[in-house]
Structure 1
Amino acid sequence: MYRSLHGHLGEKEIELVNHQIILQEDLVSATRMLKEGSTRLATVVNSKDFNDVGIAELLMTAAKAKLSILKAQLLENSGNLNRLRKKTKKMNDESKHYFYKLYCFC
């Protein structure tokens, strides 16, 4: 039973790490979108041609919303990963203690 539970925890950790990687890639994408919106807004202001101001505003608004969501998801995923790693460490420590007791009492 311990091995199957330990294997499950290993699979869960891999799943959480993979999810973390995807979230970080999304974060890079949203940051690029925010930068693009800022660049477009600066261009609009410098050229005094306000036709593209709506696009710049839309890019920045969407990017800020996405960044806010990603921040919450990254925090949640990191917390889940930390809890899982603590649980795995505790199980490993208990296992070592159990086998040490078996070895010493033989």
Structure 2
Amino acid sequence: MALPHVGAADVLGHWTSDCGSTLTVEADRTFTVRDFPVDYALVSGAVKRLAVGHGTWYLYAGDKGVTPQTFDLKIGEEFYDLDYVRSGDSIALRTALGDPDDNRWCRFSRRSRV
């Protein structure tokens, strides 16, 4: 079942992940992350993490039939995109740890709204 279009109200709040990261998304299009995974070494399994980051978030609409909608974080000059996935009756966010084809993910669930 396809996910519905995701709007700003759907991403606001405090998110926690199964990989030890947290993400707080504010209505003014800013966010704060702690321990966000930014790189993954396949050989060692080590995850490079951004201790704390602040930046601007964007909703990428995707290209119909080609590229799915994503939630994008900009920290400095770097962009990180998270996919939307279904979590029961709501959405979760996930980011790949390394190559998405390796099927290693960090999944975020929202605990409360702002």
The alignment's TM-score, normalised by the length of structure 1, stands at 0.19
State the structure with bigger RCO (CA 8 A, min sep 6), 1 or 2.
1
The alignment's TM-score, normalised by the length of structure 2, stands at 0.19
Instruction: Pick the structure with more helix per residue.
Output: 1
Instruction: Pick the structure with more strand per residue.
Output: 2
